[in-house]
A = this chain, B = another copy of it.
Amino acid sequence: MANNVNAAQRLDATFAALADPTRRAILARLSLGEASVSELARPFAISQPAISKHLKVLEEAGLISRGREAQKRPCRLVGKPLADISEWLEAYRRHWEGNFQRLDALLDELKAQEPQAGAERPEGGSL
């Protein structure tokens, strides 16, 4: 599996694409079904070329695909990169689900007690 490198680059592109509210809004719109560029542009106060650039970013991240229908170039959401992110997130789930943070702090505390019992604790005393 030497495409681990590529996997990282795809994550880069996907996260970067998602780091913009306009692009996330476009995806939200596309989650309701395919739409043309001008339909996608309508809700926004920015120029059409700006939308085209956003779509290019989304397309290069693999988050949308484009068809062709007369002059229109209908865009469609592609879920795969989101699935990849979801999978990446799983490794961290325990950090927000359940008491992991508390547990982590507890381990720290124990480690801190090793040298001196009753030592001062600047952080994380709130368990």
Instruction: Report yes or no: B107 in contact with A83, Cβ–Cβ below 8 A.
Output: no
Q: Decide: A82 near B92, CB < 8 A? Known: A21-B12, A108-B34.
A: yes
How many copies of this chain?
Answer: 2
Q: Which of B12, B77, B122 meets A92, CB within 8 Å?
A: B77
Nearest Cβ in chain B — how far from A10, in angstroms? 11
Instruction: Report yes or no: A101 in contact with B79, Cβ–Cβ below 8 A.
Output: yes
The binding surface of chain A is classed by DSSP as helix
User: Could you say which residues of chain B place their CB within 8 Å of the CB of A18?
Assistant: 11, 15
Counting chain A residues whose Cβ lies within 8 A of the other chain, the interface size class is 35 or more
Q: Contact flags (1/0) for A1-26 with B, using CB distance below 8 Å? A: 00000001101100110111100100
Q: Contact flags (1/0) for A33-76 with B, using CB distance below 8 Å? A: 11000000000000000000000000000000111110000101
Nearest Cβ in chain B — how far from A70, in angstroms? 10
- A19 and B83 CA atoms in complex are apart in Å by 16
